[in-house]
Structure 1
Amino acid sequence: MVTAVGQPVPNTEHAVSVSLPSWKATVGYEEGEDWVVSKMQTGYPRFFIHLTIQELEREILKLYGRHGEKVMLFPTLATAKRCQKFFYDKVEGLGTGVVHILQLQPVVNQNIARDTTLSGLVCVFFPKDYFGVAKQVWQHSGDGISSRRGEFCLKALKDGILQPVADAAKPKQDDVYAKGPRRYQKSSQNGIIVNLNGATEPPRPATPADEVEDRSFSQFVEERFGRNLNTKLAAKAKLAIRRRISGCLTDNSDLDQALENSPTNCNKRQLGLSEDDVYLYPCGMSAIFNTHQMLLANAEAKGQKPRRSICFGFPYIDTLKILEKWGAGCQFYGLGSSACLDDLEQRLESGERFLALFAEFPSNPLLNSPDLLRIRQLADKYDFAVVLDETIGNSINIDVLRHTDVAVSSLTKVFSGDSNVMGGSAILNPQSKWYAEFKQMLEKEYEDNYWAEDAVFMERNSRDFISRIDRINTNAEAMATRLKSCPFVKCVYYPKYSPSRPNYEACRNPNGGYGGLLSVTFQHPEQAVLFFDALECDKGPSLGTNFTLACPYTVLAHYTEMDWTAQWGVEPDLVRLSVGLEEPDDLTGRVDRALKAAESAKV
């Protein structure tokens, strides 16, 4: 059954994707056509502001806004100030106070238990004509509030719990957020678990998670949150996530049991890596953005002159935008080839210096793998950091941490799988020569802005992360093989079939596969349209879902710049496929039927 235009995918209130079930619907969305836009109940969270957050914005504007203003909502003062600074950096002639900030903090009374976590909110007001400027920060940084945080804050605002912070009683910085070595153990007003329905009754004893395995997890969380859940659950969830990412926690078991049985340090991913080297963020792009911010701050602290960064290979759109819009700019190597490394080496030999190199392994959507061994050699010789996004390959299939200084990932994707929660991570490589500097800078600058309820869902979703990967690898390889055998398929982009396969193999784990993402182009654009429309699966943004998900990638991500993307090999009719957990024969059958439909194209 085809999911209707604009419906959430999956059909849940906090879905990460949205149904754009045809090529025409995707174009209509990009063109802003009413028959699509008016039906949008949700969208990818960094591009589409959730309807609950939009309602919260309207309520805040009614209470505190000026005529002609709009507002953008952030979890902390630091994230809001970055938005404010972006305005004054990018918009000429803005007067003092035109873009202004209001902090809202919960009014804590004796009826709210001390171990119940509440959420503050920081509002950035600006003239409504400049919404596009604020939206850039929301989209690129990934630091805006999540839909679940927005849901809680809306209820808290209506119940009078959220109130403006008086200048004379502003909280100390450490009261606003948790940071430093105890970043996931410290309660803060922006931190861990909330009361979903705004009740202020004293907390009741929490039921252990293992007693509710036979009920839906959503029901379990809602019931627990409705009882002013103790902060310890989210703290444990974050700890489990960090251990799972570090490779220390590998079993699929109840939260308390998993934590009891998992070590704090292990050698599964990298000698010396521990949970304390893993930093959580609201989404993957937030991990990239904040890593870049950390690198800029570290360079400034050393008195280093501003240096550009390198974007190596064609990346997901926002990584390049971050490097271009913040800091000293970016050297873009869209092809990510050996010739590009030759050019980079010549620049370095001539005396040019860079802050860091950012790359994906493999890349999205072309699934190219950069030569990490050569990049590491250049980085060590010429003193720049390497930041690798391992989202597509994932740590079960590949080991890139040993070649990088910071490994980042979108936990929203295959780590979660369920497509109902956002999350991101950054891992410091303990063997990096930058480790001590970066660790010290993060002790100072890091904010734990990962919303409590999101962490609880992410932990639950990720318990079977390891076991899912093998099935996804098998399914994707079968689909790629079937597509590659079709005579009118122009190209299948997949690590196994990529010219850069030797680079992938150099980092592939002994039992690792080639991941769940692939892209395909056809001899004629009409074939791509017919194939996509006939393919029996959900269609919309995102990837790494437990169900197969497709999109006309270039149309969806680069509609206004498709001539530019073509320069880097990303063709206008490219179809991206994120392969799920369905039965292999079922999936290949769907592909066969879609190919048969494409065969009828008039070319």
Structure 2
Amino acid sequence: MTVSIQNENDVEVGESIPPMTAHAVSVSLPTWKANVGYEEGEDWVVKSMKTGYPRFFIHKTIEAFASDIVSKHGQTSQRAMLFPTHVIAERCQKFIISRLPDEEQHVRIVDLVPISEKARSEELAIISPQVSAVLFPQEAFKVAKQFWQHSGDGVSSRRAEYCHGLFKEGVLVEPSTIEGSPKFCKGPRRYQNKSSIDLGRPADKSNGNIDPQDPTRFVEERFGRNLDISKTRNAKLAVRRRIAGSLTADVGLSEAVSSKSDVNEVAKHSDRSEDDVYLYPCGMSSIFNTHRNLMATKGSLKSVVYGFPYIDTLKIVEKFGPGSQFYGFGSSEELDDLEKRLEGGERFLALFTEFPGNPQLRSPDLKRIRALADKYDFYVVVDETIGNFLNVNVLPYADVVVSSLTKIFSGDSNVMGGSLVLNPKGKHYNELKQTWSRDYEDNHWAEDSIFLERNSRDFVSRIERININAEAICDVLRAHPRVKKVYYPKYSETRANYDNCRTPTGGYGGLLSVTFYSKEDSVAFFDHLDAVKGPSLGTNFTLSSPYVILAHYGELDWCASWGVEADLVRVSVGLEEPRKLVSTFQRALESLSS
């Protein structure tokens, strides 16, 4: 019998989260059945999807641009993947050929740049509107998609939207055709003035631009908040300063970049510098490029992946290097085994770990890991996305700290971003700094940076509220007799490891997971929970998913072998009023008794 569930926060299958948001980074999968249907490729789910998580679902704006590039520069039997630079496109090309060597002659790169040096040196130099497309046979799409997903280095939907407009006008062309090109045009109308939102002008759809009064843009940009692309550099500086700890208050952009000495007491004692903060298109890009640069610095050695990781971290180490030593429990016994291997002469490039892990929220013993790294000379890379740098300070134990800014740093679920911090006090700092100085290229798209800076201004106050809300939800779940286990750093057997890195004002974060004694209870709880449901985490609103089903559907037995249950429900707690949020979870639990 089908149960009708009436929830205030019901969002139809396939709608963006937030709804009517053109560049949303999540998508509604509101029932357990919808999540399974998505993984099974069922039409009623897949054909309803307006968007999806960007590394797994290629945004329709990007697809449209890729299709037009193929139409002009390729063949009907081909598809294309779009990247911000030729160098990244070459990596994708090599990856495809390494998996499909017979296709070598059929995989090529088409570079598209503005039609004149003048264009590149004036207004458009701020945003660098170039794209490099990798064209390949349709049969190679699954392989190309692996590179897109694992590397995180594909173009963003906003970059594609802007560059597609230039391409249609004949402004974005192959370098070989630049001489004698038509007169340069500044591109889509919303970029011709300082403000990228011009509600006072009539719609201009002649080149495929979105109507400035289209409701999706109206909702996304919060009733016309202006975005000035000329302020891109300052926006990126402000973001880097927030990550470095020198900005902890909601201030305007001009104040944020006015003085390097204008920092509070927290920043004065910070062990990170804005000069050692690097921005990437997304969190996975920062991990991918860390692994690539570490191999460039030290050589091609196996890495250790310690603790059950987010899916792509392990895939990166396995597919783009000589492999990994995987310790999926994140236990002290596994560190014992690692130490024995090291004592026996085995050597590793790096140890990758999350603090805390996803989805079991276990915290690794970073103090012991650091001691082993110093003794046996391997790098330590810590992903602090779940803990976030206001709750925990993991930099003293790491050579590199990576994070997804798409999550709680932004909160609005409408922009992608990633960061990487080098530890200036680390044993390997000088050699790593040299590598990054040679290799780093800022490919975070201008408008994405502006959104990210605006979204992150109230980062500190949001973290405080979310920490409180998450603990309240844990109390509700832990008290229910049908709940098997609540995973949360405060209640983990690894809490001491977390507390060792917790900042003086830090809490335990906004992410938790819950398991039940039966699958039926997991499904009932999830379906009755009056919150939006879809991939991602760290949103300003409560967001849940049957995480293992969604992230590991094809390897559930493998997950179970590491103690990760298929019916686990993951909850990213938002900013809702605490009493209302508690009531929401209590009502979902009441469904278990029916």
Contact 2:116 2:178 (C-alpha < 8 Å) held by counterparts:
no
Residue of structure 1 in register with 2:238 after alignment? 240
Indicate how the Cα distance of structure 1 residues 592 and 269 shifts in structure 2: closer, same or farther if over 3 A, else same: farther
How far residue 110 of structure 1 moved from its aligned partner, in angstroms, is 6.7
How far residue 195 of structure 1 moved from its aligned partner, in angstroms, is 6.4
2:345 is equivalent to residue 351 of structure 1: yes
Alignment of 1:302-341 (within 5 A): 306-341=300-335
How far residue 272 of structure 1 moved from its aligned partner, in angstroms, is 5.3
Residue of structure 1 in register with 2:221 after alignment? 218
SS at match of 2:374: helix
Residue of structure 1 in register with 2:206 after alignment? none
SS at match of 1:347: helix
Out of 49, 52, 58, the residue aligned to residue 58 of structure 2 is 49
How far residue 392 of structure 1 moved from its aligned partner, in angstroms, is 0.2
Determine the C-alpha separation between the residues in 1 that align with 2:243 and 2:22.
27
Determine the C-alpha separation between the residues in 1 that align with 2:16 and 2:514.
25
Of 253-262 and 517-526, the range deviating more from structure 2? 253-262
Residue of structure 2 in register with 1:252 after alignment? 250
Among all aligned residue pairs of Structure 1 and Structure 2, give the percentage whose two residues are the same amino acid: 56
Instruction: Give per-residue Cα distances to partners, 1:403-458, cap 9 Å, x unaligned.
Output: 10000000000000000000000000000011000100011111100000000000
Alignment of 1:323-472 (within 5 A): 323-472=317-466
Determine the C-alpha separation between the residues in 1 that align with 2:235 and 2:52.
26
Contact 1:554 1:574 (C-alpha < 8 Å) held by counterparts:
yes
How far residue 224 of structure 1 moved from its aligned partner, in angstroms, is 5.2
Indicate how the Cα distance of structure 1 residues 98 and 217 shifts in structure 2: closer, same or farther if over 3 A, else same: closer
Determine the C-alpha separation between the residues in 2 that align with 1:534 and 1:572.
19
Determine the C-alpha separation between the residues in 2 that align with 1:451 and 1:378.
38
Alignment of 1:93-112 (within 5 A): 93-95=102-104, 97-108=105-116
What letter matches 2:329 in structure 1?
L
Instruction: Give per-residue Cα distances to partners, 1:179-206, cap 9 Å, x unaligned.
Output: xxxxxxxxxxxxxxx96725796x6699
What letter matches 1:538 in structure 2?
V
2:278 is equivalent to residue 268 of structure 1: no
SS at match of 1:321: helix
Determine the C-alpha separation between the residues in 1 that align with 2:548 and 2:237.
37
How far residue 274 of structure 1 moved from its aligned partner, in angstroms, is 1.6
Contact 2:404 2:419 (C-alpha < 8 Å) held by counterparts:
yes
Which segments of 5 or more consecutive residues in structure 1 lack a partner in the other structure? 170-193, 208-214, 301-305
Residue of structure 2 in register with 1:173 after alignment? none
Indicate how the Cα distance of structure 1 residues 130 and 83 shifts in structure 2: closer, same or farther if over 3 A, else same: same
Residue of structure 1 in register with 2:82 after alignment? 73
SS at match of 1:93: helix
Indicate how the Cα distance of structure 1 residues 452 and 496 shifts in structure 2: closer, same or farther if over 3 A, else same: same
How far residue 568 of structure 1 moved from its aligned partner, in angstroms, is 1.0
- Give the aligned length: 557
Out of 188, 194, 202, the residue aligned to residue 197 of structure 1 is 188
Determine the C-alpha separation between the residues in 2 that align with 1:204 and 1:319.
39
Determine the C-alpha separation between the residues in 2 that align with 1:443 and 1:549.
38
Contact 2:86 2:132 (C-alpha < 8 Å) held by counterparts:
yes
Residue of structure 2 in register with 1:139 after alignment? 149
How far residue 89 of structure 1 moved from its aligned partner, in angstroms, is 1.8
Determine the C-alpha separation between the residues in 2 that align with 1:137 and 1:195.
32
Indicate how the Cα distance of structure 1 residues 110 and 407 shifts in structure 2: closer, same or farther if over 3 A, else same: closer
What RMSD over aligned residues (CA atoms) do the two structures have, in Å?
A: 2.2
Contact 2:88 2:153 (C-alpha < 8 Å) held by counterparts:
yes
Determine the C-alpha separation between the residues in 2 that align with 1:91 and 1:441.
30
How far residue 67 of structure 1 moved from its aligned partner, in angstroms, is 3.5
Residue of structure 2 in register with 1:279 after alignment? 278
Residue of structure 1 in register with 2:134 after alignment? 124
Of 271-280 and 452-461, the range deviating more from structure 2? 271-280
Indicate how the Cα distance of structure 1 residues 26 and 442 shifts in structure 2: closer, same or farther if over 3 A, else same: same
Residue of structure 2 in register with 1:523 after alignment? 517
What letter matches 1:408 in structure 2?
V
Residue of structure 2 in register with 1:23 after alignment? 32
Contact 2:282 2:404 (C-alpha < 8 Å) held by counterparts:
yes
SS at match of 2:33: helix
Residue of structure 2 in register with 1:484 after alignment? 478
Contact 2:82 2:154 (C-alpha < 8 Å) held by counterparts:
yes
Determine the C-alpha separation between the residues in 1 that align with 2:71 and 2:539.
38
Contact 1:423 1:450 (C-alpha < 8 Å) held by counterparts:
yes
Instruction: Give per-residue Cα distances to partners, 1:277-325, cap 9 Å, x unaligned.
Output: 000000000000001111011124xxxxx31001000000000000000
Determine the C-alpha separation between the residues in 2 that align with 1:559 and 1:473.
30
Out of 77, 82, 85, the residue aligned to residue 91 of structure 2 is 82
Indicate how the Cα distance of structure 1 residues 270 and 449 shifts in structure 2: closer, same or farther if over 3 A, else same: farther
How far residue 91 of structure 1 moved from its aligned partner, in angstroms, is 2.1
Alignment of 1:123-202 (within 5 A): 123-166=133-176, 197-198=188-189
Q: Normalized against structure 1, the TM-score is what?
A: 0.89
Determine the C-alpha separation between the residues in 1 that align with 2:77 and 2:404.
36
Determine the C-alpha separation between the residues in 1 that align with 2:450 and 2:186.
14
Indicate how the Cα distance of structure 1 residues 398 and 109 shifts in structure 2: closer, same or farther if over 3 A, else same: closer
Determine the C-alpha separation between the residues in 2 that align with 1:331 and 1:264.
45
Contact 1:251 1:258 (C-alpha < 8 Å) held by counterparts:
no
How far residue 154 of structure 1 moved from its aligned partner, in angstroms, is 1.1
Indicate how the Cα distance of structure 1 residues 61 and 334 shifts in structure 2: closer, same or farther if over 3 A, else same: same
Contact 1:265 1:272 (C-alpha < 8 Å) held by counterparts:
no
SS at match of 1:511: coil
Residue of structure 1 in register with 2:293 after alignment? 294
What letter matches 2:551 in structure 1?
A
Contact 1:270 1:401 (C-alpha < 8 Å) held by counterparts:
no
Indicate how the Cα distance of structure 1 residues 343 and 167 shifts in structure 2: closer, same or farther if over 3 A, else same: farther
How far residue 569 of structure 1 moved from its aligned partner, in angstroms, is 1.4
Residue of structure 1 in register with 2:211 after alignment? none
Out of 67, 89, 93, the residue aligned to residue 58 of structure 1 is 67
SS at match of 1:260: coil
Residue of structure 2 in register with 1:9 after alignment? 17
Contact 1:491 1:522 (C-alpha < 8 Å) held by counterparts:
yes
Determine the C-alpha separation between the residues in 2 that align with 1:517 and 1:417.
13
How far residue 111 of structure 1 moved from its aligned partner, in angstroms, is 8.2
Contact 1:269 1:399 (C-alpha < 8 Å) held by counterparts:
no
Indicate how the Cα distance of structure 1 residues 326 and 475 shifts in structure 2: closer, same or farther if over 3 A, else same: same
SS at match of 1:73: strand
SS at match of 1:582: coil
Which segments of 5 or more consecutive residues in structure 2 lack a partner in the other structure? 1-7, 180-184, 198-217
How far residue 261 of structure 1 moved from its aligned partner, in angstroms, is 4.9
Instruction: Give per-residue Cα distances to partners, 1:484-519, cap 9 Å, x unaligned.
Output: 111010010000111111111111112211000000
Out of 104, 109, 115, the residue aligned to residue 123 of structure 2 is 115
What letter matches 1:580 in structure 2?
G
Residue of structure 2 in register with 1:91 after alignment? 100
How far residue 8 of structure 1 moved from its aligned partner, in angstroms, is 0.3
Indicate how the Cα distance of structure 1 residues 223 and 110 shifts in structure 2: closer, same or farther if over 3 A, else same: farther
Residue of structure 2 in register with 1:191 after alignment? none
